[in-house]
A and B are shown apart, each in its own frame.
Chain A
Amino acid sequence: MLAYTFKRILQGIITVWFIATVTFIAMHAVPGDPLANERATTEQIRLNLEQRYGLDRPVSEQYLVFIGGILRGDFGISFTQENRRVNDIIRENFPVSATLGILAVTFAALGGILMGALTALFRNRLPDFVIMFLVILGISVPSFVVAALSQLVLVDINASLGFSLLPVAGWGTLRHMIVPSMVLGLGTMAYLTRLMRSSMLEITSSDFIRTARAKGLPPARIFLKHQLRNAILPVVTVLGPAIAAITTGGFVVELVFAIPGLGRYFVEAVQQLDYTVIMGTTVFYGAFLVSMVIVVDLLYGWIDPRVRLE
């Protein structure tokens, strides 16, 4: 297990380096001048600004400075807000995105497992058809449409109740978080439901379930102890990519619900071509996602010892 952990972490570090390098190349290939929308009125000001951001040095040196900064955990200073460090921006905005993401993943995982188990239990009966119809819908409707529709519905509900049951937008209390995290988790939940259903059906027809039935175990015990526990395994494997999809998919939900998260900040930074913020956020997100995948993989190795042997 230790060797496996070590190997995965090493792979992760190389992956983050790769992400950082691609980000660096992509940002330096952007047409135009990073200082074009700066107040570089005279040649001297321009030179000073270039010096401040290290743009006067050769690209190879800039790359080393960038990688060195990442190793020290320092992403530099924002281009558009000169007195703000990228680290501060991440520190202020990421907790919001992370909270939203954690809630969404929890909702998606619990909902997916529960609904998937239900569909398998009621195979080819009404609950199965209803849930699978909703699942297809959940996969096919884009998250921004769901977000906008839920806002429309909330406006109507709040208007007819005469008070604000759940806020339509904004961030702060738990009540603000409920709808956005559900909207964000919906697509993943639909996907996990499908996965859970097929995994459950596969388990149901396996030999050990028949044995369990034959020796007279109560159905509830078979369902909980034997079927559910084994069927959850495939769901755990895709949880890593699911976390990635949810975290980066958070942009749109943050935009629609006016949530001050890092995703929204990233989109703004791209619109203003704020180089350091773009590079810093990308590398940070990449590192976060890679570590999430590693954590899930290790967790999986712990749950299912067979994986470690491979």
Chain B
Amino acid sequence: MSETPRFSAADFEAAAVDRQLQAVSRPSLSYWQDSWRRLKQNRRAFASLGMLVALGVLTLAGPFVWRLDPAAQDVNQISQAPSFPPSALIVDPYTAWSGVTAEPTRMGDVVTGLHLAEAATTQAVRLAWEPVVGAAGYVVYRSVYDQAPDRALGLPVGEVVGADRVSFEDRLDLEPRRYWYAVVVMDENRAEVENYAALVVDAVRTVSVEEAGLRGWVQDVSTLTPGDRIGLPYHPLGTDYLGRDMLARLLYGARVSLFIGVVAPLLFVLAGVVYGSAAGFMGGRVDQVLMRFADFVIALPFLLFMILFKVTFGIGPGESGVFPMLVALVLLGWPSTARLVRGQILQIRQEGYVSASQLLGARTGYLVFRHMIPQTMGVILVTLTFAVPSAIFTEAFLSFIGMGVAPPTPSWGSMANEGIRTMLSHPHELLFPAVIISVTVLAFNLLGDGLRDALDVRMRGSE
């Protein structure tokens, strides 16, 4: 047995009430204020949020700043890679060239002294070389790559017959870029010999005064003289295979892609919340039937039915196909949110404060709007954030296989689809839409992770 504690009279005196102890030392934070504070601490998520805001501003304001028409074709700059503002040299109009002839004196199987007879322009590249005795003629090749590594001479642009004709004028579809020319000798049987002479040529973009006026590049033709430089329409991100400005198309495409990516999740999350909370609140048989139906819809193979519904709703002539895609996304997207919200509602219904509220005479509507919806808001917001990137993905995916937005309307997915055809020669046409899709989806994913950590107390720290 332990000793009985002894108390003195002093132990039974009233203690002094220290008010300071009970004072709240820090301002009290609501759930949302606390979540916002947590989100701000997550640097990745906060940076993503900033980027998404910037993207939103760019999407809304971009087309007003960069006023180029996304449908306008610049046929002079098709599949133009991103570059500095291009300019053109004004030259005299094209005049025919009689060429060069020289008597062959030297033996051999390869020409020497391959050179430019005149400065190389996009109007014409004029080559000349030293003749070879006994040659039946010469073949001129042009390549856009260096021939040396694998002896790929490129395109045979022309053939001159006769050993003494030692010049060639190339006017075939010249672009302002570097060309690798090669001249091969034909022997007496007119067979081409193995060796070749090579010349690297940088063609300069030129335009005649008259042409500059016709193309509308200058207002007043009379002020131009040969030797002047004029600026050409500028495409900072280059142009696509139809000569349309990539930047303008990306900005307009953002409207389509982000519209589908944000509005469709908003709608189907809303539908899911209504459906799921109805099921969860009513419970019993109604709940069972509603949830069984949701299970069926979840079992539909998503992409197959996206395509199927797109066909069902059809695209009339002149329509962009955005609306059918929106409807299809909403029809197929709602059940997962409904399931989630139902689970939450079922859980909250068990809580003591709900019973207390009911006991005090709260009506159903009050319970739902005062207790249930605010409690599930965090989960709903997280679902929404993760639904956006998957909707953007779906749009891109469908447009990529040609089942999405109808052609003249730009969207990131359809731009990627068009870009992949010219991927090897003009990678920028695929790269820009691909990068912007990836970055947007990445930002939404990181923001979603951050929001989940900030809003959902149970999930905190699990990853």
Interface residues of A (CB under 8 A from B): 14-15, 18-19, 22-23, 26-27, 29-32, 136-137, 139-145, 148-149, 151-152, 155, 194, 197-198, 201-202, 244-245, 247-249, 251-252, 255-256, 266-267, 270-271, 273, 278, 281-282, 285-286, 289-290, 293
Contacts and interface: CB of A to CB of B under 8 A. Distances in A.
B445 A267 contact: no
B424 A155 contact: yes
Interface string B287-317: 0000000011001111111011101101000
Given A136-B445, A267-B401, A148 B434 contact: yes
Nearest to B420: A148
Contacts of B424: 152, 155
A276 to B, nearest CB: 14
Given A27-B308, A29-B312, A145-B437, A290 B420 contact: no
Nearest to B442: A140
Nearest to A254: B401
Contacts, number: 125
Nearest to A18: B296
B282 interface: no
Contacts of A30: 311-312, 314
A27 B312 contact: yes
Given A140-B441, A152-B423, A285-B301, A251 B308 contact: no
Nearest to A199: B462
18 contacts: A14-B296, A15-B296, A15-B299, A18-B300, A19-B300, A22-B305, A30-B312, A30-B314, A143-B397, A144-B416, A145-B437, A152-B424, A194-B463, A252-B397, A267-B403, A271-B402, A282-B301, A285-B301
B400 interface: yes
Nearest to A249: B303
Contacts of A141: 434, 438, 441
Contacts of A247: 301
B396 interface: yes
The majority secondary structure among interface residues of chain B is helix
B301 A286 contact: yes
Contacts of B113: none
Contacts of A151: 423
Contact of A270 (B311, B430, B462): B311
A140 B437 CA distance: 8
Contacts of A266: 304, 307
Interface of B: 295-296, 299-305, 307-309, 311-312, 314, 389, 393, 396-397, 400-403, 416, 420, 423-424, 427, 430, 434, 437-439, 441-442, 445-446, 462-463
Given A136-B445, A194-B463, A142 B393 contact: yes
Contacts of B307: 266-267, 270
Contacts of B300: 18-19, 22, 286
A148 B416 CA distance: 10
Contact of A31 (B295, B314, B427, B434): B314
A137 B446 CA distance: 11
Contacts of B309: 26
B335 to A, nearest CB: 13
A14 B393 CA distance: 30
B314 A282 contact: no
B442 A136 contact: yes
Contacts of B442: 136-137, 140
A252 B401 contact: yes
A23 B403 CA distance: 17
Contacts of A278: 308, 311
Residue among A26, A252, A278, A289 with max Cβ neighbours from chain B (10 Å): A26
A-B pairs, 6 with minimum CB distance? A140-B442, A145-B434, A248-B303, A31-B314, A140-B441, A26-B312
